[in-house]
């Protein structure tokens, strides 16, 4: 199950209380105060990990609490510090304060650590209050409470290229042909119910990541179809590849399909609609009317967008498209 949003509670450990005690030993007539300090509470730290690609584990474990510090004891013994905990999150997770909406942290690389809740300080024991004029203090402090926060975690997958288009435009088939990904492929709308990632390798051993997201339809920004919820997963991409089915089976005009999806992208985010883009006519092996391809190509030229025609079934145009994507998202090899 793919879960890309979760609400969790994090609670750092409270500090231990300071101790009120006096030294009582034979042959030590002036024992004096001996209450030790409380231990510090444990911290809660979020850590990004490549071993997770969904927030599903937070669905079943929404509370993460560190251990509290031990109380101080007599004979000036300081309480043990509480054990801190690490909570793993997928790379690409964005952390918000659920109460205020404030952005707290964005995990963009593996191994990144963010101390989200700091443990409380331990209270002072009465030995800390002894002075030359106050030799038998009874003052001692309670431990400070650890920080407690309710967080909203939002996962945005990290990919170089995002595939967009109507349902059944051929996005899943394309990603299965140019990478080792095996998304579900079927001849009905909304086959793709969650984003898929595929790693594409070029002949020079360079690689880039392609994300296939569920198809958009007219009114997606209003919640029609699967809505635009999954578009967040291509917000970080460097390039959008807009796939348009040019076969007669759709019964729709390819140029209209392109304009509809572009409008939905703009409704989600102007920054998204302004990303670099390639226009790709798909299923040309099934296109009987050349004018459908030509009209889409003219529209791409008018907008200054590169145009490619492919068939994922026959393999036509796949290599050219793959290398065109690589040229735009990868740094050139040294010496080139």
Residues 171 and 311 in one domain: yes
Does residue 140 belong to any structural domain of this protein? yes
The CATH number given to whatever domain includes residue 9 is 2.70.210.12
Q: Is 245 in the same domain as 184?
A: yes
Full domain range(s) for residue 169: 161-329
Question: 276-314: b or e for each residue (b if 16 or more CB lie within 10 Å)?
Answer: ebbbbbbbbeebeeeebbebbbebbeeeeeebbbbbbee
Tell whether 221 and 118 lie within a shared domain: no
CB 85 within 8 A of CB 44: yes
Based on the domain organization, do 239 and 134 belong to the same domain? no
- Total domains, the chain: 2
Q: In this structure, what CATH number is given to the domain that contains residue 236?
A: 3.40.50.300
335 within domain boundaries: no
Q: Note whether 242 and 189 are same-domain residues.
A: yes
**Tens of each residue's pLDDT in the chain, 336 residues:** 567 889 999 999 999 999 999 987 777 667 789 999 999 999 999 999 988 888 989 988 999 999 999 999 998 999 999 999 999 999 989 999 999 999 999 998 999 999 999 999 999 999 999 998 888 899 999 999 999 999 999 988 778 898 888 888 888 888 888 887 665 554 555 555 577 788 888 877 788 888 888 767 665 555 544 556 677 777 888 999 999 988 887 778 889 989 988 888 888 788 888 889 999 999 988 878 888 889 999 999 999 999 999 998 888 999 999 999 999 988 665 555
Domain boundary among 155, 184, 216: 155
Same domain, 173 and 140: no
| Predicted local distance difference test score (pLDDT) of residue 313 | 86
**Structure tokens, 102:** 């404030």
pLDDT in the model for residue 215: 67
Pairing of strands 148-155, 5-11: antiparallel
Gap between the Cα atoms of 239 and 225, Å rounded: 24
221 and 323 part of one domain: yes
pLDDT at 196: 79
Q: In the listed set 110, 131, 155, which residue is the last one of a domain according to the structure?
A: 155
Quote the CA–CA distance of 190 and 168 in Å, as a whole number: 8
User: Do residues 31 and 92 share a domain?
Assistant: yes
In a domain, 194, yes or no: yes
Instruction: Report which secondary-structure segment, H or E, holds 243.
Output: strand 239-245
Q: Are residues 173 and 322 in the same domain?
A: yes
- Residue 334 lies inside a defined structural domain of this protein: no
Residue where a domain stops, chosen among 136, 155, 174: 155
Please indicate, yes or no, if residue 336 is contained in any of the structural domains.
Answer: no
Q: Is residue 311 part of a domain?
A: yes
Indicate if 175 and 200 belong to the same structural domain. Answer: yes
Q: What is the number of residues in the chain?
A: 336
The whole-angstrom separation of Cα 205 and Cα 198 is 15
What pLDDT score does 307 carry?
95
Co-location of 180 and 316 in the same domain: yes
| Residue 203 resides in a domain | yes
Residue 11 lies in a domain: yes
């Amino acid at each position: 199950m793919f879960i890309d949003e979760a609400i969790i509670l994090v609670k750092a450990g409270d500090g231990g209380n300071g101790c009120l005690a006096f030294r009582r030993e034979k042959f030590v007539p002036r024992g004096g105060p001996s209450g030790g300090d409380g231990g510090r509470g444990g911290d809660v730290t979020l850590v990004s990990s490549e071993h997770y690609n969904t927030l599903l584990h937070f669905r079943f474990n929404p509370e993460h609490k560190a251990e509290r510090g031990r109380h101080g004891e007599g004979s000036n013994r300081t309480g043990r510090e509480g054990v801190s905990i690490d909570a793993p999150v997928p790379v690409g997770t964005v952390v918000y304060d659920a109460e205020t909406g404030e952005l707290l942290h964005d995990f963009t690389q593996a191994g990144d650590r963010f101390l989200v809740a700091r443990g409380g300080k331990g209270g002072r024991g009465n030995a800390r209050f002894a002075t030359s004029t106050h030799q038998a203090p009874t003052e001692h402090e309670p431990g400070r409470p650890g920080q407690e926060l309710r967080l909203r975690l939002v996962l945005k997958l990290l990919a170089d290229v995002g595939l967009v288009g109507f349902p059944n435009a051929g996005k899943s088939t394309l990603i299965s042909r140019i990478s080792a990904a095996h998304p579900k492929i079927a001849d009905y709308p909304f086959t793709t119910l969650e984003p898929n990632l595929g790693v594409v390798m070029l002949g020079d051993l360079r690689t880039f990541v392609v994300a296939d997201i569920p198809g958009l339809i007219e009114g997606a920004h209003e919640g029609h179809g699967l809505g635009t919820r999954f578009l967040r997963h291509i917000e970080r991409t460097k390039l959008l590849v807009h796939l348009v089915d040019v076969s007669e089976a759709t019964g729709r005009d390819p140029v209209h399909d392109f304009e509809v999806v572009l409008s939905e992208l703009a409704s989600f985010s102007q920054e998204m609609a302004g990303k670099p883009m390639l226009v790709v006519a798909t299923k040309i092996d099934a296109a009987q009317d050349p004018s459908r391809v030509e009209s889409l190509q003219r529209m791409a030229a008018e907008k200054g967008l590169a145009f490619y025609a492919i068939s994922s079934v026959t393999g036509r145009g796949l290599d050219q498209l793959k290398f065109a994507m690589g040229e735009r998202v990868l740094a050139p090899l040294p010496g080139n």
